[in-house]
Structures are given as C-alpha cells and as structure tokens.
Amino acid sequence: MPWQPLPGRDDRGPERVVAALDRVVRHLGAPSAGALDDLFTRWDEVAGPDLAPRTRPLGVRDGALVIGVDDPAWTTAVRFAEAALLARLATVVGAGAATRVEVRVRPVRP
C-alpha cells in the first residue's frame, strides 16, 4: 500500500524527522530541538562552575528556563544569578531562548 496522508493533512508527503521534532518542541514552548540539545550538552557553560554541579536544566517552557536544584537552598542562588544565566543562555543557544528562570527542587542526577 503506498503512503497516504493522515485524514485532515495535505498530501505534501513525509517530512524530515528534525522538522517534525522542531514543531513538537516549539509547541511545548521551547525554541527548537537544536537549542534544547545545546542547553543540555553545554549546561556547564551556561550555569558556570558554581551552579553547574548543583543544578541541571529541565528544559525551556513558554519562555522560562526551568532549572532543577538538588537542595532548596540553591533556589536563592539560582534566582540571584538569573540575569547572568539568561545572558549565557542567549550566547550558547541564541537570543530569545528564555526570558525568565523557574526553579524546581529535584535531585541532580550524576
């Protein structure tokens, strides 16, 4: 049986996986799949040497860089560093990736 579009879709044919993934990621409120990859792989650079060991990126959602911390005491440090984090994020991922920081207390995985 030849390829057929899903009901309600046009017949432009299959699309590249990266294009579909980018569309899903944008729908979830993140800039792009590539930007998320940069965020996760270059977190040490974004967070800096003091925050990186105690934090991890959880993602970007609706313009917010969501960061997990391993202890509630680190939420203050992250909020204090918000401007610097957003500036480094813009340098690493691209301008406009996030406009604010949200912090969640979660164990940091090694």
Rounded mean pLDDT for each run of 10 residues along the chain, 110 residues in total: 67 66 64 73 93 91 90 94 94 86 81
pLDDT at residue 60, as a whole number: 84
Angle, helices 17-27/33-41, rounded to nearest 10 degrees:
80
Residue 63 belongs to a domain: yes
Residue 52 belongs to a domain: yes
Number of domains in the chain: 1
Q: Which of 107, 98, 102 is nearest to 54 (CA)?
A: 107
CB neighbour class for 89 (10 Å; exposed up to 12, middle 13-18, buried from 19): buried
Residue 9 belongs to a domain: no
Residue 6 belongs to a domain: no
pLDDT at residue 12, as a whole number: 65
Q: Which domain holds residue 43?
A: 17-105
Angle, helices 82-92/73-80, rounded to nearest 10 degrees:
60
pLDDT at residue 96, as a whole number: 80
Residue 10 belongs to a domain: no
CATH number at 35 reads 3.30.300
